Amino acid sequence: MTHIAKSLSDEPWQIVKLLAEPDDICQLCPHLEAAGGCALEEQVSVRERDKIVLEKLDVQPGERLSYQELAVKLAAAANSALLEEACAGCHWQNFCSGLPAR
C-alpha cells in the first residue's frame, strides 16, 4: 500500500481505475479473503463502502481518472463531511482526509 500511495503522490497524473471490489491495493492485504471479502468487515462491507464513496464522488465503478483528479474529489468530499457515512471506521480514513485539494 505504501508503495502505491508514494507512486501516486510522486506522479499524480497516473490514471487509476476506481472499483467497488478488491483492487491492486487489496491484493497484498493480509485481511483479503479468498472469496474477495475482507476479514475486517463489520457492519458495512468494504464493497458497500466503496459503492457509497463512488456515489458521493459522482463516479461510476470502472471509471478511470487521474490520481490528481481523484485526490481533489476526495479532499473536497472529506473536507465537507460528505463521506462521513461511508468512512466511519474505515482504515483508509486518515489517508483520504489528509489529502490536500490541488
Give me the number of domains the chain comprises: 1
As a whole number of angstroms, the distance between CA 58 and CA 40 comes to 26
Write out the residue range of the structural domain in which residue 32 sits. 2-97
68 sits in which H/E element = helix 67-79
Residue by residue, pLDDT tens for the chain (102 residues) are 678 888 988 999 999 999 988 888 778 778 888 877 788 766 567 788 888 889 888 999 999 999 999 999 888 887 666 667 777 777 766 666 665 554
Quote the DSSP letter at residue 36.
S
Determine if residue 63 is left, alpha or beta; phi over 0 gives left, psi from -120 to 50 gives alpha, anything else beta.
beta
102 located within any domain: no
56 sits in which H/E element = helix 46-57
